[in-house]
Amino acid sequence: MLYQIFETQRSIMEPFSDLAQAAAKLYSNPLNPMAQTPLAQRVSAGYALMHRLGKDYVKPEFGIRTVKVNKTDVAIHERVEIDKPFCELRRFKRFSDDPATLTMLKAQPVVLIVAPLSGHYATLLRDTVKTMLQGHKVYITDWKNARLVPLSDGEFHLDDYINYVQEFIRHLQSIYGHCHVVSVCQPTVPVLAAVSLMASRGEKTPLTMTMMGGPIDARKSPTSVNNLATNKSFEWFENNVIYRVPPSFPGAGRRVYPGFLQYTGFVAMNPDRHATSHYDYFKDLIKGDDASAEAHRKFYDEYNAVLDMDADYYLETIATVFQDFKLVNGTWDVKGVDGKIERVRPQDIKGTALMTVEGELDDISGAGQTRAAQDLCSGVPASERQHLEVPGAGHYGIFSGRRWRDIVYPQLVKFILNHAPQAKAPAAVAVAKPSVSAATQPVAQAPSSSVPVPAAAPVAVKPAPKATVKTAAKVIAKTEVKASAQPAAKASAAKTTAQTAATATDKGASKPAVPSAAKASVKTSSPTPAKAVTKSAAKALPKTAVKTTWVDSNKKA
């Protein structure tokens, strides 16, 4: 009944809102003599504010037409790649007439941005998408308003959300062979579940998985959002916030959690801030500050546009994420498209690098909630995990605005590029192959004085703790790379150095620890082997701790 009352009120207010808009334009039109009166500016500003408070906000457009890529304007064509009953996989395809730019665009990594289904449209991530387009092929999940989905399309559950994400990942893998996934806020939980299930089945998983401001473990640093979910029973939510869509919409009769209730909750978190913002808008109109007034309109056009969520999905999210904490307790079972029930096991993820991002002042996902994914994904090596905490950033600041562009995005770019597929590595080794014998000859004499490595050989032969031996192996590899005369042979020189040093150690040392260290160094090679090996040896991180990055808010990352 509440939904019908709200729609009736909105229908009654609509003509008054339109009238207020017309009056605002009338009193601000310089051709109208009334606009020259002393109070005209104030009257116009008052009507403009009345219009915005009473109007109906529809889904905005992304509106991304061009982006700058290396100081070159690149055209953007937005299209729907996959159309599901409750979601569209939207692609932002980039076009350029410049052959060099086009070649560069094709070589850039592909990223799937999973937008939140929590009351707002995916356009809330417009700044995220526009920034990512500078260096990536970008796809995004564009969730549909449940009141526009006919009952004939069935229900939508949290399990369906997970199945959608898996389908989109497989789709990108079928085109590009791999992909990276970025989830913002709410989808961090279902995305982690989706990748976990793919890993448990032995499927190919994304190269990287970035989680930003999400409730992985909602028990940590609970916010007002968490407290509401835990203080109320499941039955309370089912009886008080679930309503049926009125007959005037395509989804008439569908049980939903209405968007206007979610919007009320958003505003109730910071009512003073929103009231002040509207008053500032009124004053900006009086002063003629068009830039500030337009910024206000753009923000609230996005913020006030909300969608309905299917009741089953909403209630299951409340129970699974905020009440039973099934993900962190290891009790979450998901039904796949084939009807099979599977347990979510994040520890099965091994081949996907993990990055978590939190805002210091996030009042929706508290401190530590997103970072909890680091503990759950124990199968991912510590060297493949990273955490970023952004000082002074609120919830929206980690994916939109200055801090996102200056701090988070540069770190995210580095993380993705560091885990790009190394398809050209075998070719680099093949090129260096003819020089192997020349580079190997001096290295085979490592125990003698003929090789200019005075410190490395004795340390490698002398029985020593693992840490010392690893250092010796790195020194040998680094020195021999520098000794190589031909750049094309650096990869083989480094590799052969490690192997021959291992042979020498096996003959002269009592504890064969060098071979494992040498192999570890070889594994870090890349399309430019010499630089990669020496750089990784110098900056190797401990295998026992997650890399934690704290970025100064006053400096660019």
193-241 pLDDT, tens digit each: 999 999 999 999 999 999 999 999 999 999 988 999 999 999 999 999 9
Within this chain, do residues 441 and 401 fall inside the same structural domain, yes or no? no
- Report the number of distinct structural domains present in the chain: 3
- At which of 418, 436, 457 does a domain end? 418
Q: Can you tell me whether residue 523 is helix, strand or coil? A: helix
Distance CA 43, CA 24 (A): 7
Residue 362 is assigned to a structural domain of this protein: yes
Domain for residue 413, yes or no? yes
Identify the domain containing residue 498 by its residue range.
426-538
pLDDT value for 381 = 96
| The pLDDT of residue 420 | 86
Q: Is 456 part of a structural domain of the chain? A: yes
pLDDT score for 158:
98
DSSP state of 151: G
| Residue-level pLDDT at 421 | 82
Last residue of a domain, one of 418, 434, 449: 418
Find, among 142, 109, 174, 187, the residue nearest to 419 by Cα.
109
C-alpha–C-alpha distance, residues 181 and 354, integer Å: 10
Residues 47 and 127 in one domain: no
Same structural domain, 367 and 438: no
Within a domain: residue 452?
Answer: yes
74 and 105 Cβ atoms separated by less than 8 Å: yes
Strand segments (E) across 136-265: 137-143, 180-184, 208-212, 243-244, 255-257
pLDDT at site 1: 81
Q: Where are the alpha helices (DSSP H) in 354-424?
A: 372-376, 402-403, 409-418
What confidence category does residue 455 fall into, taking pLDDT thresholds of 50, 70 and 90?
very low
Q: How far apart are CA 311 and CA 484, in angstroms?
A: 66
Asked if the structure places residue 40 within a domain, the reply is yes
Are residue 73 and residue 44 in the same domain, yes or no? no
CA nearest 266: which of 255, 254, 274, 278?
A: 274
pTM, two decimal places: 0.76
pLDDT at 519: 38
Helix, strand, coil shares of the chain, percent, nearest 5, are: 55, 15, 35
The per-residue pLDDT for 378 is 96
368, 391, 418 - which closes a domain: 418
> Is 316 in the same domain as 196?
yes
**Res. 252: pLDDT tops 50:** yes
Q: Which comes out higher in pLDDT, residue 544 or 156?
A: 156
In a domain, 269, yes or no: no
139 & 180 share domain: yes
pLDDT digits (tens, 9 = 90+) for 76-93: 999 999 999 999 999 999
Same domain for 104 and 124, yes or no, is: yes
SS3 401: coil
Look at residue 59 and tell me if it is in a domain.
Answer: no
Whether residues 104 and 161 share a domain: the answer is: yes
Q: Are 173 and 225 found together in one domain?
A: yes
Is residue 180 a part of any domain in this protein?
yes
- Top-confidence residue, 346 or 429: 346
Do 39 and 87 belong together in one domain?
no
Cβ–Cβ under 8 Å, residues 258 and 6: yes
Helix (H) or strand (E) run with residue 310 in it: strand 309-310
Q: What is the pLDDT of residue 547?
A: 57
Examine the pLDDT at 291 and tell me if it is beyond 70.
Answer: yes
CATH number where 219 lies: 3.40.50.1820
340 with 214, same domain: the answer is yes
402 and 381 in a common domain: yes
Sequence letter at residue 44: S
